[in-house]
Amino acid sequence: MAEKADKKLSAPKLIELFETHTGHAPQTLIKTPKFPARFKFRNGFYYRHGGDADWWCETCSKKLELIGCKFTVLSSQEHWNPWPKDSYWEVIVDIHEWPNK
């Protein structure tokens, strides 16, 4: 049974779903306070090693599907900074439904 998106889905709950269904959690997960079902998935990088924003979007999408979430990807982008530890890929999604277990 799935739950409809509302304020019940918190970042800790989504991290728990990731750990339960995929074995690990996203590096950084941010819930957007203005939109209750909007989340930002970030993955920091020093070197790209063939990865890019599209790769990170595909990775997040596959994991959300594995968990059983229904979602819409709003954007995926790369934030490159001259100091490598501050560079990251970001995917923003709206989650419409998620499993209750």
Looking at residue 100, its pLDDT comes to 75
Per-residue model confidence (pLDDT) at position 77: 95
Measure the CA–CA gap between 69 and 21, rounded to whole angstroms: 11
Query: Would you list the DSSP string of 19-88?
Result: HHHHSS--SEEEE-TTSTTEEEEEEE-SS-TT--HHHHHHHHHHHHHHHT-EEEEEEEEEE--SSGGG-E
CB under 8 Å to 16, separation ≥6 — which residues? none
List the pLDDT tens digit at each of the 101 positions of the chain: 565 654 578 889 999 998 888 888 888 999 988 888 999 999 887 766 777 889 889 999 999 999 999 999 999 999 888 876 788 989 999 999 988 76
Q: Determine the pLDDT at residue 27.
A: 86
> At 77, phi and psi to the nearest 5?
-155, 165
Q: How far apart are CA 36 and CA 43, in angstroms?
A: 22
Give the domain ranges of the chain.
Answer: 2-99
pTM of the model: 0.84
